[in-house]
Amino acid sequence: MRVPQRNPTNAEASPIPVWPAHTDELAAAAVAARRKRQAGFTLIELLIATALGVLVMGALTSVVLTSMQAANTATARVEASSQVRNFQFTAYDDFVLARAPAPSGCGTPSTPCTTQDLVLQGRKVPNQVGGVAAPYTVRYVWDSSRHVVTRYAGTASRVTATNVTAYTWYVDSSGSNPSVVIHVTVTIGSYSDSQSLRFYPRITASPTP
C-alpha cells in the first residue's frame, strides 16, 4: 500500500529569517544618536554662547558710544568756534570806528577787566550821500550768570556770543598805538574753546572837548 505524499504548506516551505543579534544594537544606537541630535544645547554650551554674546555686544556698544562722543565733540567744536568768530567779527567793525577804551580800576595786563563794560567811542559816518560823521558809542557787556556777551548801541542790543564761561579784557599800551586784548572762553558740553583776540582801534586821537 502506497502512502500518499503530502505537499508542504507555505509555512513549512518558507523558513522564518533569523536576524543577526547585532542588528538590534545598531538600531538602538541609531535611535540614541537621533535623540542626542534633538536634545538641544547643554548648559555649558549655553554659558559659552552667552559669554560670547556679551563680549560682542560690549564691543559694539563701545564702538557706538565712541562714535557718538566723537560726533558730539566735533559739533561742539564747530559751535564754539562759530561763537568766538561771531564776536570777533562784530567787535572788529566797532574797533575800526572807535578809540581805545579808558577803563577805571582795571584794564591792565596784570588786572584785566571782567564785569566792567567795554565801552568804545568814536565817530561814524552814515551810509548816505553827504553824510556827516556823528558820535558813536557801543558797549560790550558779559553776563556771567547767563554766559552771554551782549552788544549795546544806543537803545538796540544784540547777543554776540553765547556759552561764554570766561571773559576778560585789557588795554595793551606797550606798542606805538594801544590795542585791546580780549580773552574769551566758550564751553559747550565737555568741550571748551579759549582764544585771545587782539583788536586795534583805528582812532588814536583824543576826543575834542
Q: 6 in a domain, yes or no?
A: no
Cell numbers of 202, please?
583805528
Q: How many domains does the chain have?
A: 1
> Binning pLDDT at 50, 70 and 90, where does residue 13 land?
low
State which residues form the domain around 126: 23-209
Phi-psi region of 147 (alpha: psi -120 to 50; beta: other; left: phi over 0): left
Which grid coordinates belong to 24? 538590534
Residue 172 near residue 178, CB atoms below 8 Å: yes
Q: Is residue 8 part of a domain?
A: no
Residue 138: inside a domain, yes or no?
yes
Question: What is the model's pTM?
Answer: 0.66
Residue 145 lies in a domain: yes
DSSP code per residue over 151-181: EEETTEEEEEEESEEEEEEEEE-SSSS-EEE
Length, in residues, of the chain = 209
Tell whether the torsion through CA atoms of 81, 85, 91 and 96 is positive or negative.
positive
Which pLDDT tens digit goes with each residue over 27-73?
677 766 666 665 566 788 888 888 888 888 888 888 888 888 888 88
The 10s digit of each residue's pLDDT in 144-165 is: 999 999 999 988 999 999 999 9
Q: Is residue 196 included in any domain, yes or no?
A: yes
Whether 5 is covered by a domain: the verdict is: no
Residue 42 resides in a domain: yes
C-alpha cell, 48: 559659552
Domain assignment present for residue 11? The answer is no
Strand locations in 2-147 (E): 118-124, 134-143
